[in-house]
Chain A
């Protein structure tokens, strides 16, 4: 009714003006839009006393005694003859990595939500609301995906949990640095929500090492793993540059080289904060242990 009737008057609330002029709304004045209410089909009301009422002629169809869905007349049906296989077995226990496309990363940088002049961490991405990680739902972090590799043009120092080869190439082509690091679920929860953790008053724990099946991934320089031998990384960079055909920029000549080369220690969760420290947010202080045993434990 609002779309159909158009009153006069200038711009603004025409509906309000109409309401003033028209008679009171009551059951007499109301009507649904044409085509909104379709009357139902009632069977058995036709000529010749309704006849078959859409049930067909004789047999199980008319008599309503058809067997269950999937029954094949006695032959072992399809759903029983195919053997079981554990395709989805343990699916709820598998590690999940939230995808982050290069397109989205570029969008976040363009809108100023993520600062490319500081090292980009999962905390920075979460604070910018670029990704939402749920460590309790078996999320183990973020994976960099190559959607948007052709438009990506930001020089960043980024740390993710997994990255595909083309994504690594796209970042290094623009003069950036990418590292892949592992966070166990407890460290991941602390990384994603640092403030509630600091308010708990517990010392920052040390990050655990990856499980056996991931050690291979993180010790490989081709994945820019954080446990890989640092001397293998320049070779891997050259190899990728040759493979994808771009000139590898020399980042040591860059003014932001210091920022680009900051990397976290394998046992560190946050940049600049070591494990074992307690953060006092109300007094803006950091408490550090001095006991020999604690120092040895936290630096092991």
Chain B
């Protein structure tokens, strides 16, 4: 009963739009010039015109570079790195998705950490500045761990939003 009502409702669509696009695409075959009958299988027609629609479906192999915007921050809050790297003894690279590499980490349910990754140059200088900045914020200096080999700094506690903004203001 419900099925009958549903199908009746669908059949009542005006203008015969039902399957119109599909019918149009299938029937336009005879009018297309670049089509050729397949030599081996006469029941098939080949065409190269519509291949551009297939090309649209292929996923890109590389992450696209973000386009230039007139104003930063963009509506979603993203800010591009400054064109000239800042004159500091260290450099913080962007992640492959063009974001600032500050992450939150939590272990065993209660151990909260903030990690700044992808640091190049003098890590200890950055550690000093981070310590100063966070002492102002939190009142006391939080424990900080520096890993020279991976170029990362781990800080006890969640400071990811503040650190992201601080790094963005520096121009990274």
A: residues with CB less than 8 A from B are: 2-3, 6, 10-16, 103, 106-107, 109-113, 118, 123, 126-127, 148, 151-154, 194-195, 198, 206, 209, 212, 215, 219, 227, 229-231, 264-268, 270-277, 279, 281, 284-291, 295, 298-300
B: residues with CB less than 8 A from A are: 2-3, 6, 9-10, 13-14, 17-23, 25-27, 29, 35, 38, 43-48, 50-54, 56-60, 63-67, 69, 74-78, 89-90, 97-98, 121-125, 143-149
Contact A281:B54 (CB < 8 A) given known A2-B146, A212-B3, A287-B38: yes
Decide: B60 and A127 in contact? CB cutoff 8 A.
yes
Chain A residues lying within 8 Å of B98, measured Cβ to Cβ, are 111
Chain A residues lying within 8 Å of B125, measured Cβ to Cβ, are 11
Q: List 30 A-B contacts (CB under 8 A).
A: A3-B144, A3-B146, A12-B122, A13-B148, A103-B76, A107-B77, A111-B97, A126-B59, A152-B75, A209-B10, A212-B3, A229-B13, A268-B21, A270-B53, A271-B56, A272-B25, A272-B56, A273-B25, A274-B26, A276-B26, A279-B54, A284-B48, A286-B50, A288-B46, A289-B44, A290-B43, A291-B43, A299-B19, A299-B22, A299-B26
Chain B residues lying within 8 Å of A229, measured Cβ to Cβ, are 13-14
Chain B residues lying within 8 Å of A279, measured Cβ to Cβ, are 51, 54
Chain B residues lying within 8 Å of A195, measured Cβ to Cβ, are 57-59
Summarize A's interface: helix, strand, loop or mixed.
Answer: loop
Tell me how far the C-beta of B9 lies from the nearest C-beta in chain A, rounded to whole angstroms: 6
Chain B residues lying within 8 Å of A288, measured Cβ to Cβ, are 26, 29, 35, 44-47
Chain A residues lying within 8 Å of B53, measured Cβ to Cβ, are 270-273
How many angstroms between the C-alpha atoms of A295 and B53 in the bound complex? 21
